[in-house]
Chain A
């Protein structure tokens, strides 16, 4: 499969009152056509900033791209002038955000908002655009799409609004869809509808999806590959099944061990991770996870370990000096019951 997006060594800095901080620090990944890449991390891990940077949406100041390249269709997105980026955004690369209420314009009908995308990017007439917009709404499972074109966002339920956002993002048949916590604000039964819809649309159109989420369940069900982020860096990258079966970074492993499971009743304490995610303006020396890690040693404090291929497994990478040991032992033997 072809690579549609190639991100190399991306670094984003923010100058805040509390000092200068690096929100994204040397992130590299490739996205293949038709695949779903999960980007997992907690608040402040850099997962959203990474994707805003791809689209040239980092506010400057306080933000600045320090380094990196983002290759898409032979061009570096980070070097494109805004006018060129605008032609791509919402057209060949689209984005869905967590909160559909704030990303839709409350003063415009659904039909106008969708129609505008087509008029701008595809030069359609109003009538053509409106017809195509209705088809787009139908594709995402909205009943009576022609009538819905006249509706304002506040007249729709949360799940319907998210469908409208997805319809809008897919109107121009993008090669890449970036979904930033697309179901976090929704109830689980509606989340199931939206995730099913995304998987179905992806299969039909071959769209590559970057799925940003903190929910390990969403990743387990949706992603082909996963990048786990911590304090601005990718600390582990692996195909989804091996990642959950034999996590090779202590953070991934601890995160998986700490969540309560729906599939079992237990009265034992959860294996909580001590401490909290670090302050990016005041990172510990060496590995940022060090202060919370059970395996931490002097070497860990000396320098942050680079993200390197695991022994004998070219598909997996991890940034820990113990990764080769970790991924060969099963997490259940080391961390108690899952």
Chain B
């Protein structure tokens, strides 16, 4: 078997909260991400979905080294990335770039587009100053912007165009992996499709792998090959997009999918919605057992109160999929 491009194994990120106690130990830990594992292959897209606070952004930021990890391993082409010094990180970072949600906040308003696009090349010492300008022009062309606008400032562009600049900047270093954190959710509806098409087109042209974080599940279905559903810092289900969207197994995935309003009044009138009770619990004080059990409509179907006492393991099920649910485990064993 070949080595996966990106291999995440048991990754955890816990933040100290509530100040420090008498002996300098943190009073409490916020378990933002726990034991997250997945592989990402060249040219493939993996979606990370879940509600706010589920740890999807923290997972991405820990992978790319913006947060030091608490435990686990992240391998890029087999090379371990966790625990590396800043300097040792630099050559790897070139291969993994990030696109952010807010095209207004993630570009320096005082830099021209030319300088925004040349900066990563300069930091990595990749091209001579003269060549950098040419690279910038080619990048603008690749993301569908007019190369003649290379000397303009970010405020002279619309939101959609700014997101294109952010994508061009991420592409400047010819990365293998793009981490996209809600890349279209701040854009107007009529602009979103343009950016989604652009991302797909770039993926085909440059064989990019995407780690795609979004709360809009329709966008994820459109763009991703495989999807991980996260709840309170853990992956609860992972499956191919067709399996996940057509036959969701984990009760949380099912509730999440049924909660998404469909842009079709006739389908909306027919469907039966699973409305979850209550809110997502606090990650500083997660429920015992399965973190989802207080909101789960199926917990009564598992005998012996197992859902509140024992955390279900993420286990393989029939087909190429995994999930963490006592009920699914029983169903899988019975079949």
Q: Which residues of A are at the interface with B, using a C-beta cutoff of 8 A? A: 42-43, 157, 159-160, 187-193, 195-196, 214-221, 240-241, 244-245, 254-256, 258-266, 269-274, 276-277, 292
Closest to B280 in A: A187
| Residue contact B245 to A276, C-beta cutoff 8 Å | no
The CA-CA distance from A301 to B160 in the complex, in Å, is: 25
| Residue contact B256 to A189, C-beta cutoff 8 Å | yes
Supply 20 further A-B pairs (C-beta < 8 A) apart from A258-B189, A276-B188: A42-B190, A188-B256, A190-B279, A216-B263, A220-B268, A221-B262, A244-B263, A245-B266, A256-B263, A258-B190, A260-B216, A260-B218, A261-B222, A262-B257, A262-B262, A265-B221, A265-B241, A270-B196, A273-B190, A276-B158
Kindly state whether residue B193 has any CB partner on chain A within 8 Å. yes
Residues of B within 8 A of A272 (CB): 190, 193-194, 196-197
Closest to A230 in B: B190
How many A-B residue contacts, CB cutoff 8 Å?
A: 139
Among B194, B222, B259, the residue within 8 A (CB) of A188 is: B259
Closest to B252 in A: A189
| Residue contact B190 to A270, C-beta cutoff 8 Å | no
| Residue contact B279 to A160, C-beta cutoff 8 Å | yes
| Residue contact B265 to A244, C-beta cutoff 8 Å | yes
| Residue contact B245 to A265, C-beta cutoff 8 Å | yes
Kindly state whether residue B27 has any CB partner on chain A within 8 Å. no
Q: How far is the CB of B315 from chain A (nearest CB, A)?
A: 25
Q: How far is the CB of A280 from chain B (nearest CB, A)?
A: 13
Kindly state whether residue B296 has any CB partner on chain A within 8 Å. no
| Residue contact A217 to B260, C-beta cutoff 8 Å | yes
Closest to A224 in B: B265
Q: Which residues of B are at the interface with A, using a C-beta cutoff of 8 A? A: 51-52, 158-161, 188-194, 196-197, 200-201, 215-219, 221-222, 241-242, 245, 255-268, 273, 275-276, 279-280
The CA-CA distance from A221 to B268 in the complex, in Å, is: 6
The CA-CA distance from A273 to B197 in the complex, in Å, is: 11
Chain B contact residues: over half helix, strand or loop, or mixed?
A: helix
Residues of B within 8 A of A260 (CB): 193, 196, 216, 218-219, 221-222
Residues of B within 8 A of A262 (CB): 217-218, 221, 245, 257, 260, 262
Among A187, A195, A261, A277, the residue within 8 A (CB) of B263 is: A261
| Residue contact B279 to A277, C-beta cutoff 8 Å | no
Q: How far is the CB of A47 from chain B (nearest CB, A)?
A: 12
| Residue contact A220 to B265, C-beta cutoff 8 Å | yes
| Residue contact A196 to B263, C-beta cutoff 8 Å | no
| Residue contact B218 to A189, C-beta cutoff 8 Å | no
Among A189, A263, A270, the residue within 8 A (CB) of B267 is: A263
The CA-CA distance from A190 to B255 in the complex, in Å, is: 11
The CA-CA distance from A265 to B193 in the complex, in Å, is: 15
The CA-CA distance from A276 to B192 in the complex, in Å, is: 11
Residues of B within 8 A of A266 (CB): 222
Residues of A within 8 A of B217 (CB): 188, 262
Q: How far is the CB of A196 from chain B (nearest CB, A)?
A: 6
| Residue contact A42 to B188, C-beta cutoff 8 Å | yes
Q: How far is the CB of B216 from chain A (nearest CB, A)?
A: 8
Residues of A within 8 A of B258 (CB): 192
| Residue contact A217 to B52, C-beta cutoff 8 Å | no
Residues of B within 8 A of A192 (CB): 258-259, 261, 273, 275-276
| Residue contact B279 to A159, C-beta cutoff 8 Å | yes
Closest to B52 in A: A187
Residues of A within 8 A of B193 (CB): 258-260, 270-273
| Residue contact A270 to B222, C-beta cutoff 8 Å | yes
Closest to B201 in A: A269
Closest to B51 in A: A187
Residues of A within 8 A of B256 (CB): 188-189
The CA-CA distance from A187 to B50 in the complex, in Å, is: 9
Residues of B within 8 A of A245 (CB): 266
The CA-CA distance from A244 to B160 in the complex, in Å, is: 26
Ranked nearest first, the 9 interchain pairs of A and B with the lowest CB-CB distance are A217-B261, A272-B193, A260-B222, A187-B51, A216-B263, A192-B259, A270-B193, A258-B193, A42-B188
Residues of A within 8 A of B192 (CB): 258-259
| Residue contact B189 to A214, C-beta cutoff 8 Å | yes
| Residue contact B196 to A42, C-beta cutoff 8 Å | no
Point out which of A188, A195, A245, A272 has the most chain B C-beta atoms below 10 A from its C-beta. Answer: A188
Cross-chain pairs A/B with CB under 8 angstroms, 9 sampled: A188-B215, A192-B259, A193-B276, A217-B260, A261-B221, A263-B267, A265-B222, A269-B200, A276-B191
